[in-house]
Chain A
Amino acid sequence: MAGQNYRSTPVDLREQLAFDEETTKLAISSLLGNGEISECAVLSTCNRSEVYVVAESVESGLSRIRETYTNLFQIPLATIDPILYKHQGSKAVHQLFAVAAGIDSMVIGEPQILGQVKDAFAVASQSKATRLILNRLFSQAIEVGKKVRTETSIGSGAVSIPFAAVEIVKNIFDKLGNRSALVVGAGETGVLAARHLKNAGFGSIVLTNRTFSKAARLAEEIGGSARRFEDLTECLVASDVVLCATSSPEPILKAATIAEVARDRKMPFFLVDLAVPRDIDPAVRKISGAILYDLDDLKVIVDRNQKQRIKEAERGRSILEEEVGRFGRWMDALDSTLTIRLLRSKLERISGAELERHGKGLSPEEKKHLQRFAHGLLNKILHTPTLRLKSMNGSSASSEEQRIVKDLFALEEEDGE
């Protein structure tokens, strides 16, 4: 496999090397073009693009991948080559498993990557570019991705400021569908926060901004409603959660107002201040029935969750090691099966030729008798080596034994012919 990601490649170059559906299909047909590559798949996300191939040799595989990158994106090899990481055998398997598990992601444990691995596999399958090995590799990678997420807490705990705020909201209210959120400020942060709240499932999202038209535009975009800034207190009364992100130099929400609004509520009135300088008077912290989180509070949570995910990733790595081993054992078994098949086929060919040479002039009954004799002899000869090769599956000596058998019987040459 070869690929580039957020660690090896600056974002401007990464953008140029992203595969969309069309370029993925072009890449697949280019890779399979001259017959050196028997299987391939392309995984492309905003943080990486990776190409997995089953090739006759490592050199030919890598060379075809390099060619595909340079031809498809019209970028010189001198630029591409230094940023491409290349792995083969178990390291390539480990790479795909780590990607699927979210261990190799920029945001460790992010959930989207598993879906992207599934998509990559689906496109390659539909293009008939995957067979025995990549089918097994990608299926197991998807399994590994799920396993790591289930057996570790790699995906738990918010690792972005808006998600951290939403996570707290979910620990206060059990059904957000009948809850109302107010977003004050329609700048970049306000837009992001409003989207997060919408995605979290809030039944109603109200936006307000000093420039009403901006609030109205954003409200239309996310499916909320806009209110004039003058109606702020009224909006506060009707809201369960308030998120402030304006560029006001002074607090726009005073403690006295919040004290009045928070009174007699069943559940705490939750306020999030994402602005610097702050939009909400810090004295709100002292009001019973109101809970205020500012950027620093959320940053502490995000940092702690990130550290926790790094720890969990370590646990995930031990699962990866086991799974890479499992895949390796499967490959060994596949190799020994192929070796046995090649050996049998060669001996059957020899036996057939000899039968034809010595069968001339024999009666049909004698020929049958001779065939039965040859078949029995062949089975007897192959019995012990077959058992031995099978029993060595997964052991370190297995590939050495297979090499000896292939050398002794010149099986690779026969296969090539």
Chain B
Amino acid sequence: MHQFIEVTNAALPVLYGILFAAYLSAFLGKGEVWVRRVTSFLPFLVVLHGAYLAGRTIHLGHIPLLSRSEAMSTVGFCLAVIYLIQERQVRVREVGVFVLGPAWALQLFSSFHIQHIVLTQDPQFQGALFRFHVFTSILAYVGFAVAAFYGVLFLLLLREIESRRLGFMFSRLPALETLSRMNYRTVLLAFVLFTLGVITGTVWAIRVLEDHSAVDPKMIGSVVIWLIYASFLGLSALRRWQGRSGALLSLFGFAAVLTVFVALNFLLPSFHDFL
């Protein structure tokens, strides 16, 4: 297992690099045949990365989030997963470079700095339920970030078309309608994952924590985020708030995520401090 972890750790940045080059070519509209061939390997890369993280968890006995390098690899994996699901749905490769680029950078940093050693972890932060809560939550936050990014791309392209200065974005990005659909579907996926994360987190907290009356600022923040995205999806369904409004809402939602999980982290004490 140790050997598998070491080999995969070295191989992942190389494989992400190759995929990044292929997606960059897709964005620039070049080399159709080899791009199609190389990008078709993304599911295999995601499976390999998942096996690497699972292998670490089993071999070292802790979730791959305890060191900065581990967290980077996990976030990179989540980016690839979210992107892969969206690509399967919409069949658009032009924007892959923007998601897999950061995934590659994260994995590259991680592979160079990571140590394959056992790190001590509070026993209460173990178990399948806790791991599921953490993993779905991270996937959800990454999903919100990716959705917000699609929203930015939508607004940039819309701005080019509205201002009649058709340039780089116009010739490279997919249609506004496609970007809007990608934005909406990614929010929907992230919202489902986030809901699962909140539910499993709550169940875990009730089981493990002794003081059930404790009010955690991040839990409150999570509820606020949940309400924002629930409104987003509700408005999208009821009032056709997609397109520009959808893009702006997903940006607003992600700003709320950042506020809750960056600002609160520094300002208020929380039992989420282990993250």
Q: Is the CB of B157 within 8 A of A171?
A: yes
Known: A168-B161, A300-B164. A173 touches B177 (CB 8 A): yes
Tier of interface size on chain A = 20 to 34
Q: Is the CB of B166 within 8 A of A174?
A: no
Q: Is the CB of A266 within 8 A of B175?
A: no
- The answer, yes or no, to whether B243 is at the interface (CB within 8 Å) is yes
Docked pose: A300 CA to B167 CA in angstroms: 12
A168 CB contacts on chain B under 8 angstroms:
161, 166
Docked pose: A266 CA to B239 CA in angstroms: 9
Known: A172-B175, A297-B164, A300-B164. A264 touches B158 (CB 8 A): no
B177 CB contacts on chain A under 8 angstroms:
172-175, 266-267
Task: Give min CB distance, A319 to chain B, whole Å.
Answer: 15
Contact of A171 among B161, B239, B243 (CB under 8 A): B161
Task: Give min CB distance, B219 to chain A, whole Å.
Answer: 34
User: Please, what's the 1-or-0 string for B168-181, where 1 marks a CB less than 8 Å from any CB in chain A?
Assistant: 00110111111011
Q: Is the CB of B175 within 8 A of A268?
A: no
- The answer, yes or no, to whether A23 is at the interface (CB within 8 Å) is no
Task: Give min CB distance, A294 to chain B, whole Å.
Answer: 10
Residue total for B at the interface (Cβ-Cβ under 8 A): 21
Known: A172-B175, A174-B175, A267-B180. A291 touches B161 (CB 8 A): yes
- The answer, yes or no, to whether B162 is at the interface (CB within 8 Å) is yes
A172 CB contacts on chain B under 8 angstroms:
161, 175-177
A157 CB contacts on chain B under 8 angstroms:
171
Task: Give min CB distance, A134 to chain B, whole Å.
Answer: 30
Q: Is the CB of A156 within 8 A of B242?
A: no
- The answer, yes or no, to whether A253 is at the interface (CB within 8 Å) is no
Task: Give min CB distance, B82 to chain A, whole Å.
Answer: 21
B157 CB contacts on chain A under 8 angstroms:
171
A174 CB contacts on chain B under 8 angstroms:
174-175, 177-178, 181
Q: Is the CB of B243 within 8 A of A267?
A: yes
- The answer, yes or no, to whether A265 is at the interface (CB within 8 Å) is yes
A293 CB contacts on chain B under 8 angstroms:
164
B181 CB contacts on chain A under 8 angstroms:
174
Docked pose: A293 CA to B243 CA in angstroms: 20
- The answer, yes or no, to whether B240 is at the interface (CB within 8 Å) is yes
When C-beta atoms are compared, the residue in chain B nearest to A285 turns out to be: B162
When C-beta atoms are compared, the residue in chain A nearest to B169 turns out to be: A171
B176 CB contacts on chain A under 8 angstroms:
171-173, 267-268
Q: Which residues of A contact B (CB under 8 A)?
A: 156-157, 168, 170-175, 264-268, 288-289, 291, 293, 297, 300-301
